[in-house]
């Protein structure tokens, strides 16, 4: 069922939210990624993977955690905490959406400083390829308290969905839980900022 119909009919929206766990920058290696499945704001399940720090495999790792697996048929939308994991392992948002046949949304807590991001990316290998992925994700839409890039749904419907998936504060519950669980697994306890 389409997202706008789910909203109109007041149906439960099933979401998966991905966030990377804390890591030490510039050390190489892998970074853990938590994917939390929620029905609305209620926790229902979890997937766990690893992406290369500043690498190229984040899109494929997320696809491998969902394609042919039990959660995908239940999902209506996928949320990402930002467009890159493990530093600048930039996610190919259109590819993710097309292969999963789901709207995919990169959610940000504030409007990003694209100049600073571009300068940081230019210090890494293949900066043009990273920037191309960043810009392929599309326009950053500002619907405070949400800032997001979306592929596979219109911005207004996406904003309505994000509001429905947020229990308290400004972060959809699936992303909040992914952040807390990732921190707890890596550090032994969850942090206060989610």
Considering its fold, how many domains does the chain have in total? 1
> Which conformational region is residue 152 in: left (phi greater than 0), alpha (psi within -120 to 50 degrees), or beta?
left
Structural domain that includes position 131? 3-185
Tell me if the pTM is above 0.85.
yes
Q: What is the pLDDT of residues 4-18, one digit of tens each?
A: 999 999 999 999 999
Percent of the chain with pLDDT over 70: 98
Asked, for residue 109, whether it belongs to a domain, the answer is yes
CB 88 within 8 A of CB 121: yes
Asked, for residue 46, whether it belongs to a domain, the answer is yes
| CATH number assigned to the domain comprising residue 56 | 3.30.2170.10
| 69, pLDDT greater than 90 | yes
| 168, pLDDT greater than 90 | no
Show the DSSP H helices in the chain as ranges: 3-8, 58-66, 93-100, 114-121, 127-136, 155-164, 173-187
Question: Quick one: pLDDT at residue 39?
Answer: 97
| 192, pLDDT greater than 80 | no
Pairing of strands 77-81, 104-108: parallel
Question: Quick one: pLDDT at residue 193?
Answer: 62
Asked, for residue 53, whether it belongs to a domain, the answer is yes
Q: What is the pLDDT of residues 115-163, one digit of tens each?
A: 999 999 999 999 999 999 999 999 999 999 999 999 999 999 999 999 9
Asked, for residue 153, whether it belongs to a domain, the answer is yes
Helix (H, G, I), strand (E, B) or coil at 134: helix
Q: What is the pLDDT of residues 76-97, one digit of tens each?
A: 999 999 999 999 999 999 999 9
Side-chain-side CA neighbours of 121 within 13 Å: the count stands at: 22
pLDDT band, residue 194 (cuts 50/70/90): low
Asked, for residue 132, whether it belongs to a domain, the answer is yes
Question: Quick one: pLDDT at residue 175?
Answer: 97
| 74, pLDDT greater than 70 | yes
Question: Quick one: pLDDT at residue 32?
Answer: 97
| 191, pLDDT greater than 80 | no
Asked, for residue 130, whether it belongs to a domain, the answer is yes
Percent of the chain with pLDDT over 90: 91
- Rounded Cα gap, residues 44 and 37, in angstroms: 5
Asked, for residue 152, whether it belongs to a domain, the answer is yes
CB 165 within 8 A of CB 38: yes
- Rounded Cα gap, residues 83 and 105, in angstroms: 9
Average of pLDDT values for 7-36? 94
| 186, pLDDT greater than 90 | no
Cis? peptide before 145, omega within 30° of 0: yes
Return phi, psi of residue 14, to 5°.
-95, 130
Asked, for residue 192, whether it belongs to a domain, the answer is no
> Which conformational region is residue 169 in: left (phi greater than 0), alpha (psi within -120 to 50 degrees), or beta?
left
């Amino acid at each position: 069922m389409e997202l706008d119909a789910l909203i109109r009919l007041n149906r439960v929206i099933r979401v998966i939210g991905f966030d990377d766990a804390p890591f030490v920058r510039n050390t190489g290696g892998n970074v853990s990624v938590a994917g939390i499945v929620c029905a609305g704001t209620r926790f229902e399940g979890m997937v766990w993977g690893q992406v290369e720090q500043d690498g190229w495999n984040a899109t494929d790792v997320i696809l491998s955690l969902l394609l042919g697996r039990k959660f995908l048929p239940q999902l209506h939308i996928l949320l990402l905490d930002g467009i890159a994991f493990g530093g600048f392992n930039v996610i190919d948002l259109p590819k993710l959406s097309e292969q999963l046949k789901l709207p995919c949304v990169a959610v940000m807590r504030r409007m990003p400083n694209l100049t600073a991001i571009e300068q940081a990316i230019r210090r890494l290998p293949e900066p043009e390829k990273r920037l191309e992925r960043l810009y392929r994700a599309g326009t950053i839409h500002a619907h405070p308290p949400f800032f997001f890039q979306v592929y596979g749904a219109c911005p207004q419907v996406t904003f309505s969905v994000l509001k429905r998936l947020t229990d308290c504060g400004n972060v959809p519950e699936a992303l909040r839980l992914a952040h807390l669980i990732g921190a707890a697994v890596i550090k032994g306890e969850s942090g206060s900022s989610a």
